[in-house]
Chain A
Amino acid sequence: MRIQVNQQAVFVGTGSSQHDPHQRTVVFLHGAGMDHSVWLMPARYFARQGFNVVAPDFPAHGGTEGQALTSVEAMAEWLTAVLDALGLGEIDLVGHSMGSLVALEWASRHADRLHRLVLLGTSAPMPVSDALLDAAATRDRDAMQMANQWSHSSQGLLGGHAVPGMTLYRGALRLLHRTPEGVYHLDLSACNNYVQGQDASAKVSAPTLVLMGEEDKMTAPKASQQVVDLLQSATTVRLAKTGHSMLSEAPNQVLDAFSGFLLAE
């Protein structure tokens, strides 16, 4: 669906859910250079479970207009504006990679509105290598190729997509290529420059699930564990033979992990 936020058209993936203020709401935040479509399967699952599903495209991503936001803090503020525009109160919040940082920052500010938190492929800080940042600054496509290679497990680079007939590496690359020029660099810079992640993590009291890909080279399990150690109430799931692109490399395992967590009461 399309809504207006700060006088800009924002696209929000809903998993075909029908919004009802009396239902629980789960919010999905995508990573750098991505959009709502990475959440296709979990969005449809939670819609069927009777949730309001909110998977917004950040500004200048997917179907959302405007200039890209340049900091994780600004993205967290923007998320509040999106939720307010939809009239939503308490939410479950799920974020992947850059989206996990936004989720952490938002969670640290809005404990009263957060029910449960899920972080996929996270670390705080989330340093981005100079090589990748430099490439993104001048050669978007080279940077996307580089990051895409690092985002897949060794087997994932050769394929074996769980969704019949689809490609892992090329599928992710095609989605990245839809990002307007310059936006990927802004996303990576926002991740690299976010220094409040540890403080934010320590403030989160909501039950939190952290999913780690055992072959994640972008946010290594060791780095994810440091976030876990700071959170007040965290559990972890480690996904074998899976890289940073866990939503496409292990879609069923990811869904099983966080659906169980979010539906548990």
Chain B
Amino acid sequence: MNDDPFGFDTRQLHAGQRPDPATGARATPIYQSASFVFDSAEDAVGLFNIERAGHVYSRLSNPTNAVLEERIAVLDQGVGAIAVASGQAALHLAISTLMGAGDHIVASQSLYGGSHNLLAYTLPRFGITTTFVDPRNPEAFRQAIRPETKLVFGEVVGNPGMEVLDIPAIAEVAHAAAIPLMVDATFVTPYLCQPVALGADLVMHSATKFLSGHGVVIGGLLVDGGVFDWLDSGRFPTLSETYEGFHGLNFAEEFGPAAMITRARKEGLRDFGACMAPMTAFLILQGIETLSLRMARHMENTQRMIEFLSEQPNVLRIHHPGHPNHPDHALANTLLPKGAGAVMSFEIDGGRRAGMKLIETLQLFSHLANVGDAKSLVIHPASTTHHRMDASALAAAGISEGLIRLSIGLEDADDLIRDMKAGLRAAAKEAQS
């Protein structure tokens, strides 16, 4: 339900921003300043002691970043958000705010390679372990939850398997255990899916991707839906008990629905320091202003590509929830009625050799490690983004040797199809040679 007073297109342009009070500038100015002068000694004390609102130092907050943060929070139906250096920084910020050594995460096994690496290999060194489960099986999530579990995590649309996370079902499992559900909504953006409205508690984005659209910055966003009751849960001492790092502040008692996002800023952003540069925030805002227009076009082109690939003899399987044969097609139609995103993958006859030939032949699709650009992109996950996963993890994530991942851009669909047709022809020859 949209219970916001303004429609999506209006919010993507205006939310969180007022004409600059100093100059009247209509665009959001880039406040390229490390720090901000206090009005008085009393003002300084008030800002540090959370008595007054304002900015102190750009690692903690910045006026340009604040517009981006409020805008994404409004679009995602959250109480607040934090802009950070990358999507990975957003994931780390959420985890480090909620838990410590000895705690546990239950996560989908179909994750972006960087996220999988963080959970599977890096965080265990710090005492935080993860159990990976089939994203299509809510019961598997339930069975993996332990007394020390603090978070359930998945991607709205899995990378690169394109599984659709049944957010309401997984949220029910998490909430029954008094645990929040966090989802990575990078592939869908708030235009296609607002996970908080479906039951998720925390949302993270790599803003590098579709939110920006231009592919010129690296950035991440963490959104707190403000629904989860950290006090009632009893599992989150970082929020429900006093924090000596802020003179005995109890975040859940003092900040209510905004407890988590406030602690993330007051501790995680302050201490780990993965802040976003204001120039980056400005560039992401430029992208968000046209998000709905771009995403609609992304989805039109994706649908055309799905239809084209469906008719090609050397395409063995198409992974996109928009394809009628995809196991999550019906779920996607329910949860993602505007489309399941412009990232798709397919398996080509001829395995790795044919796949590499296809990639080398494509002219309009750029071969690189990214998604969500206005330009169309292609990559071979098994040898690049997911190369750190072993064979069993690759198989569990549905990544075969012949899997090709596409990020469909905003070019003319006919041109993209012509380019793909040439690539598939070359790949077929390679497979027969």
Q: Which residues of A are at the interface with B, using a C-beta cutoff of 8 A? A: 11, 13, 16, 35, 37, 40-42, 44-45, 48, 62-63, 141, 145, 149, 155, 157-167, 169-171, 173-175, 177-178, 251-252, 255
Residues of chain A within 8 A (CB-CB) of B255 are: 37, 40
- Known contacts A16-B248, A170-B226, A251-B52; is A164 also within 8 Å of B254 by CB? no
- Known contacts A164-B66, A252-B54; is A63 also within 8 Å of B73 by CB? no
Cα distance A252–B51 in the bound complex, in angstroms: 8
- Known contacts A37-B255, A170-B79, A178-B257; is A164 also within 8 Å of B61 by CB? yes
A251 to chain B, nearest CB (A): 5
Specify which of A16, A164, A167, A177 is in contact with B247 (CB 8 Å cutoff): A16
A164 touches B65 (CB 8 A): yes
B253 touches A166 (CB 8 A): no
- Known contacts A173-B3, A252-B53; is A166 also within 8 Å of B17 by CB? no
Cα distance A35–B255 in the bound complex, in angstroms: 10
B64 to chain A, nearest CB (A): 10
A166 touches B70 (CB 8 A): yes
Residues of chain A within 8 A (CB-CB) of B74 are: 159, 167, 169-170
Cα distance A49–B70 in the bound complex, in angstroms: 31
Residues of chain A within 8 A (CB-CB) of B332 are: none
- Known contacts A45-B46, A164-B66; is A178 also within 8 Å of B256 by CB? yes
A174 touches B226 (CB 8 A): yes
A155 touches B73 (CB 8 A): no
B174 to chain A, nearest CB (A): 18
Q: Which residue of A is nearest B71, CB measured?
A: A159
Instruction: Tell whether B81 is near chain A: CB-to-CB under 8 Å.
Output: yes
Cα distance A115–B391 in the bound complex, in angstroms: 74
Residues of chain B within 8 A (CB-CB) of A169 are: 4-5, 74
A159 touches B53 (CB 8 A): no
- Known contacts A44-B51, A171-B80; is A37 also within 8 Å of B254 by CB? yes
Instruction: Tell whether B379 is near chain A: CB-to-CB under 8 Å.
Output: no
Residues of chain B within 8 A (CB-CB) of A164 are: 53, 55, 60-63, 65-66, 69, 265
A56 to chain B, nearest CB (A): 13
A171 touches B69 (CB 8 A): no
Residues of chain B within 8 A (CB-CB) of A11 are: 253
A166 touches B79 (CB 8 A): yes
A165 touches B15 (CB 8 A): no
Residues of chain A within 8 A (CB-CB) of B231 are: 63
Instruction: Tell whether B18 is near chain A: CB-to-CB under 8 Å.
Output: yes
Using A159-B14, A170-B4 as known contacts, list a sample of 7 further A-B pairs with CB atoms less than 8 Å apart, ordered by residue number in A.
A40-B254, A44-B50, A158-B18, A160-B17, A163-B53, A165-B83, A173-B3
- Known contacts A157-B5, A159-B70; is A165 also within 8 Å of B261 by CB? yes
* Centre residue among A165, A170, A173, A174 by max chain B CB count within 10 A: A165
B228 to chain A, nearest CB (A): 10
A165 touches B69 (CB 8 A): yes
- In the A-B complex, the 10 residue pairs with the smallest Cβ-Cβ separation, listed nearest first, are A162-B53, A164-B61, A165-B69, A174-B226, A37-B256, A45-B51, A174-B257, A164-B66, A159-B16, A160-B18
Cα distance A157–B70 in the bound complex, in angstroms: 12
Residues of chain A within 8 A (CB-CB) of B14 are: 158-159
A41 touches B45 (CB 8 A): no
Q: Which residue of A is nearest B39, CB measured?
A: A252
A165 touches B226 (CB 8 A): no
A259 to chain B, nearest CB (A): 9
Instruction: Tell whether B82 is near chain A: CB-to-CB under 8 Å.
Output: yes
Instruction: Tell whether B78 is near chain A: CB-to-CB under 8 Å.
Output: yes
Which residues 142-198 of B have a CB within 8 angstroms of A? Answer: none
**Can you list 21 contacts pairing A with B, beta carbon distance less than 8 Å?**
A40-B254, A157-B6, A159-B14, A159-B17, A159-B70, A164-B61, A165-B70, A165-B80, A165-B261, A169-B4, A170-B74, A170-B77, A170-B79, A171-B226, A171-B258, A174-B79, A174-B227, A174-B257, A178-B256, A178-B257, A252-B52
Cα distance A251–B47 in the bound complex, in angstroms: 12
Cα distance A41–B46 in the bound complex, in angstroms: 9
Q: Which residue of B is nearest A251, CB measured?
A: B53
Specify which of A13, A35, A42, A171 is in contact with B51 (CB 8 Å cutoff): A42
Instruction: Tell whether B49 is near chain A: CB-to-CB under 8 Å.
Output: yes
B52 touches A149 (CB 8 A): no
A177 touches B227 (CB 8 A): yes
Which residues 198-256 of B have a CB within 8 angstroms of A? Answer: 225-227, 229, 231, 247-249, 253-256
Residues of chain A within 8 A (CB-CB) of B77 are: 170
A167 touches B70 (CB 8 A): yes
A158 to chain B, nearest CB (A): 5
Cα distance A22–B46 in the bound complex, in angstroms: 24
- Known contacts A158-B14, A159-B16, A255-B51; is A175 also within 8 Å of B257 by CB? yes
- Known contacts A48-B49, A170-B73, A170-B77; is A13 also within 8 Å of B254 by CB? yes
Cα distance A173–B6 in the bound complex, in angstroms: 15
* Centre residue among B55, B82, B254 by max chain A CB count within 10 A: B254
